[in-house]
Structure 1
Amino acid sequence: TFLFLGVTVALWFYFCLWIESSGTLTETRANVFYYKKDGWMKFTRWYNFFGMLWMAQFIIGCQHMVIAGAVSIWYFKSTTIFGYPFCRAGQQAFKLLSSNVLRVAAINSVGDFVLFLGKVVVVIATVLIGIRMLEHKDGLQHMWVPIALSGLFAYFVAHCFMTVYEMVIDTIFLCFCEDCEQNDGESRPYFMSRGLMEFVENSKKALDIYDTRAKSSATELKSVPTISGDVTRNFSG
């Protein structure tokens, strides 16, 4: 994935050079020239950019498909899943997640947020290092262009690595929901490990306790009497 992303970004940069060096050479002031572009060239600039984003997401989507397939085969290694077509499989996954939203949504959201913070840290570190390296370079007029490109490429690389863990987590939770839907743990034993079952149930209990405490705290705050009027009357008397 990293190799294909690198090739995609390199091709995008190559076409950027062609686009930016195309047009009519125009003089703005003494010995200062630029390539004046018509409407089609300006459109091509954005077309190239969004084409690069589409290709990058397509490559990452292929990685998601491979990882999800490998994890689901590992989870249900003793049986065969239904083999639904794409649209029906997406509908089934949506139903599973909707029916188990209270059980896994909060845990999954926390995991995705932590992984997103990891991507942000990588991008910030790359940008700060780039600023430090280029701030004293003589003759560099547009310092933020290479820094922005480095930050964008750093995000794609971090996303490429972090999405492996993200996709594994999402697929395991989806397999967990399907396992609970199809099996009862007695006549049809679960495929999940005992550790996964305990982790999900303990997390759900912890979230329920937190919600109960939050609701009780809100109720106590509403039930506290207001004594400001009585105090004011006493001082007035």
Structure 2
Amino acid sequence: MDMEQQPDNNSNKNRKCTDIYAPIAWFILLFSVIAYCLIFSNSSILTKGRDECGNVCGELNDGNLNDQCGPHDMRNYPKLLNQRHVNKSWIIEYKCVTDCPQNIPDNFIQCWEKGDFLKVPNFLTDYGMKVNAFLRYMMTSWIGLGIYCAFSFLFSIIILILLRFIPQATIWAIPILLTGLLFLLAVLSFAFSFDSSSDGIESYLYIYVGFFVIMMFVFVKKIILAGKIFGEMTKSMIKVPWILILPILTFLTLTILIAAFLFTSLWIETSGTFSPGTSEDGKFELKYEGTKIMKVIRILNILTFAWLGNFIINCQHFIIAGSVTKWYFTRDKSGLGGINKSSVTNLVRFHLGSVCFGSVVVPVVRLIHFGFRIVKCIKASVNFCFKGMQPQRCNQEFDSIDKIFGIYTKSSYVLIDSHGTSFWESGKKSYDLVLENLGDIYWLNLFKDILLLLNQMFVPFVGIFAGLFIVDSKASQFTAISPASVDLIFTFLIAHCFFMAFGVTIDTILLCCCIDFKENSLESKSYFMRQEMRKLVMKIRKHHGLEVSLSQDEVTGNMMPMLDR
């Protein structure tokens, strides 16, 4: 296969839909959640509210069988009045009224006492109260959230630029700065902690700092090599600037998804039941409780939206992988104006199933693979093997399991887009390509993941710190959630979108280098990769004991580089 003739992907005549069972499984989850809400939930409760007897304001309530609160016909009482108890201000009373009192403003269909910023509905469990507070904070503080996210976006771009021009310094500086920040936090926590309940927090921070320092000393050579590789990758990413547009679109889509998840969660909360009880002032009231099936549906709802969120991010990865592959295997890049349209077409028409499958499999497998690698390192260090197994047999078992884990990576998207194969088949081919041409580069992927995670931790902290000088905090107005945690979630999300785009670019170019090395290893052919990248690939091959051969062009220094300068 001549990759120079491959940039627009294979013909779609023989391309088929792949892994269609994955979206079917997701739709079953989604259908379960929606069906439950339509049957057992009442969306009007979200807008009209309930009084203390479980009656929905403005409705007949003929299904309410509790007779201790009087009549249930509230059709003449359309507004819900939320006001504090006369003698006990911490108690909020809920009752349906015809109109709002003069001293309490009318907020559309509910009456809220002035100054009571946090409106806590009386039909929510503890989980529902947190969801409600999260949603209200998003709705009332979107300007502040936007400022924090703008700073996070700005610092993400700055770090990518620094990785382009001073990769080694950046790779060392970010972890050191973050470690220093956490160490300072540990010292302050120890110095100003007088509450025994907070003991142990600084201990975890000390453990992290110690682990990080040991790792830096042990793997210093590999970190230096990884820094050079990341520098080369960033050069490619900066030269394809339209890649940076996708994370913004992904972040906006995820923000809409989060809002939809919160609304759906509140909708599910309306399916609970009321049980008789006594309030703090001794009066009869109904206690709102969640049913067992509601708790199950709540978990299904979380899984459904988590799967969909990861699917959206992986659609970004698929498009980036296809676009970077086309960019890599094109000599004259002057005609490349933007995103590879064929990748978008292939994704929508044929491979949504594979991306959906990879969205749920890759995170789980990578977590298991990480734990498996730790076991493998321990086994190699102490020369330990499971009882009843020969060392050679044990090594074979480890290698077989390792290969199974290695198949499930995001590098599969490159071959899914170019060859139209399923996720499993593409993963197997990509794993074999990398293992054959670069060896076991799990250490490189590990450092890449650590670097990206540290950046994803560093950027939100810096972004929020910078935004504090502009944004007026409303921390005192919320009790169910911490506003800082919401700010961190959104700033982390935008950093995650950007640096995961950087990560998939690294994975794609490494796989392209493997294809390039395999297809163009003859002296009569010139490589697509840059000469600097070629040298780094040779270092990796030498590190793993693979054959290192130089063509005549490389010996004389006349190897044709990629035309990207």
TM-score (norm 1): 0.71
1 CA distance for matches of 2:274 and 2:419? Answer: 59
Determine which of 43, 46, 65 is the counterpart of 2:296: 43
Distance 1:109 1:38 in 2: 43
User: Does structure 2 conserve the Cα–Cα contact (< 8 Å) formed by 1:103 and 1:200?
Assistant: no
What residue number does 1:222 align with? none
Asked if 1:2 is matched to 2:241, the reply is no
CA 33–200 in structure 1, closer or farther in 2 if over 3 Å, else same: farther
1:93-112 correspondence runs (5 A)? 93-102=430-439, 104-112=441-449
CA deviation map 1:69-103 (0-9, x unaligned):
0011111126xx86251343222101012224547
| Correspondence 1:199 to 2:199 | no
- Distance in 2, Cα, partners of 1:43 & 1:164: 34
Opposite residue 480 of structure 2, the aligned amino acid is H
* Contact 1:16–1:48 (8 Å) recurs in 2: yes
Task: Please tell me whether the aligned partners of residues 100 and 177 of structure 1 are also in contact (alpha carbons under 8 angstroms).
Answer: yes
1:83 is the counterpart of 2:419: yes
* TM superposition shift of 1:104: 4.5
Residue 116 (1) aligns with residue 453 (2): yes
Q: Deviations over 1:177-231 (max 9, x none)?
A: 11111221512221111121123335666x68xxxxxxxxxxxxxxxxxxxxxxx
Contact kept in structure 1, 2:438 and 2:514, CA below 8 Å: no
Q: Are 1:71 and 1:172, in contact at CA under 8 Å, matched by a contact in 2?
A: yes
Q: Measure, in 2, the Cα distance between the counterparts of 1:53 and 1:125.
A: 26
How many Å apart are 1:8 and its aligned residue? 0.7
Instruction: Please say if residues 180 and 190 of structure 1, whose CA atoms lie closer than 8 Å, have aligned partners that are also in contact.
Output: yes
SS at match of 2:501: helix
Q: Give % identity.
A: 31
Q: Choose which of 494, 499, 505 in structure 2 pairs with 1:157.
A: 494
Displacement of 1:118 after TM fit? 1.0
Distance (Å, rounded) in 1 between the aligned partners of 2:266 and 2:484: 17
Q: Deviations over 1:4-58 (max 9, x none)?
A: 1111111001112222344224545326865211111111221211111001011
User: 1:53-92 counterparts in 2 under 5 A?
Assistant: 53-77=306-330, 83-86=419-422, 87-92=424-429
Quote the Cα distance in structure 2 between the aligned partners of 1:183 and 1:204.
16
Letter in 2 for 1:13: L
Q: SS in structure 2 opposite 1:191?
A: coil
Residues 192 and 186 (structure 1 numbering): CA distance in 2 closer, same or farther, change over 3 Å? Answer: same
Q: CA, structure 1 residues 189+97, in 2 after alignment: closer, same or farther (shift >3 Å)?
A: same
Shift of 1:148: 4.1
Deviation at 1:114, TM superposition (A): 0.9
State the number of aligned residues. 202
Q: Would the alpha carbon gap of residues 101 and 113 (structure 1) be closer, same or farther in structure 2, given more than 3 Å must change?
A: farther
Answer 1 or 2: which has greater helix percent: 1
The letter for the 2-side match of 1:113 is I
Which runs of no fewer than 5 residues in structure 2 stay unpaired? 1-249, 332-414, 545-565
Secondary structure of the structure 2 residue equivalent to 1:142: coil
| Superposed displacement of residue 59, structure 1 | 0.3
Task: Deviation per CA, 1:112-141: give whole Å up to 9, x if none.
Answer: 3211111122455578889x9455x15x33
Amino acid corresponding to residue 14 of structure 1 in structure 2: F
CA distance in structure 2 between the aligned counterparts of 1:203 and 1:88, rounded to whole angstroms = 26
Does 2:526 match 1:189?
yes
Distance (Å, rounded) in 2 between the aligned partners of 1:204 and 1:28: 73
- Alpha-carbon contact 2:434-2:440 (below 8 Å) kept: no
Picking from 11, 19, 40, the partner of 2:268 is 19
Q: For 2:443 and 2:269, locate their aligned partners in 1 and report how far apart those are by CA, in whole Å.
A: 47
**1:2/1:157 contact within 8 Å kept:** yes
Amino acid at match of 2:421: P
Amino acid at match of 1:46: I
2:279 pairs with 1:29: yes
1:166 aligns to 2:503 (yes or no): yes
State the Cα RMSD in Å: 3.3
2:481 maps to which of 125, 129, 143: 143
Structure 2: distance between partners of 1:188 and 1:127? 51
Q: Residues 105 and 36 from structure 1, CA distance in 2 versus in 1: closer, same or farther, beyond 3 angstroms? A: closer
